[in-house]
């Protein structure tokens, strides 16, 4: 009798999970494509990205990529409509990026949330987590979620460096989001 009772309880639990698990079924799927520019300022009196951790200063090698390996930056970068820093502010990219390469190529591991503060996307966010080989002309990174208008987002972004001045960069983003 106890075996039958436990099997019955297991069946009831499985049915409860099946009918109570949220799905996207019945929700209207939307696709949003957008373009913006991120301004990553590491130098000067008002940086938008600051180093918060990194390799000890006892590195004796000559490889500049290896010298930066392990450096971690916290960022709060403005997002604008055009490459001009004075163009319309669309929002901010906030998160962490770290130097992930020891040799051969300069790449970052990025965990960023792009939050929008005006216009059609006001109050909405999406998050990107992935590898960014910054010296490549075009880099593709995954979108792994979002809030507001971009709830349950998935998709990808294509990043292209627009300009670089020492360590400061303006990066253009073309983003495709699937959301509900």
Q: How far apart are CA 155 and CA 144, in angstroms?
A: 7
Per the CB < 8 A criterion, the answer to whether 55 and 68 are in contact is yes
Between 11-15, 24-28, 33-37, 113-117, the lowest mean confidence (pLDDT) is in 11-15
Condensed to tens digits (0 to 9), the pLDDT of residues 49-94 reads 999 998 777 778 888 888 888 999 999 999 999 999 999 999 999 9
Question: What domains can you pick out in the chain, each with its CATH number?
Answer: 26-179 (2.40.480.10)
C-alpha torsion angle, residues 122, 127, 132, 137 (rounded to 10):
-30
Angle made by CA atoms 34, 35, 40, in degrees to the nearest 5? 130
Predicted confidence at residue 105, as pLDDT, reads 85
- 43: Cβ contacts below 8 Å, ≥ 6 apart: 166, 167, 168
Query: Of 180, 94, 174, 163, nearest to 141 (Cα)?
Result: 174
Look up residue 101 and give its two tokens.
Answer: 């390469």
Query: Of 46, 73, 50, nearest to 132 (Cα)?
Result: 73
Residue 20 pLDDT > 70: no
CB atoms within 10 A of CB 52: 12
């Amino acid at each position: 009798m106890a075996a039958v009772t436990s099997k019955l309880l297991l069946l009831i639990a499985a049915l409860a999970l099946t009918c109570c698990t949220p799905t996207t079924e019945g929700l209207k799927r939307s696709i949003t494509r957008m373009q913006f520019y991120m301004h990553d300022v590491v130098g000067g009196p008002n940086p938008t990205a600051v180093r918060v951790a990194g390799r000890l200063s006892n590195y004796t090698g000559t490889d500049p990529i290896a010298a930066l390996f392990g450096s971690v930056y916290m960022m709060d970068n403005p997002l604008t409509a055009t490459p001009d820093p004075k163009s319309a502010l669309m929002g901010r990219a906030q998160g962490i990026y770290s130097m992930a390469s020891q040799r051969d190529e300069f790449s970052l591991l990025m965990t960023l949330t792009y939050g929008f503060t005006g216009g059609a996307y006001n109050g909405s966010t999406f998050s990107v987590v992935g590898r960014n080989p910054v010296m490549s002309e075009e880099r593709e990174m995954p979108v792994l979620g979002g809030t507001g208008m971009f709830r349950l987002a998935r998709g990808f972004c294509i990043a292209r460096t627009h300009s670089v001045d020492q360590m400061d960069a303006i990066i253009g983003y073309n983003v495709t989001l699937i959301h509900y």
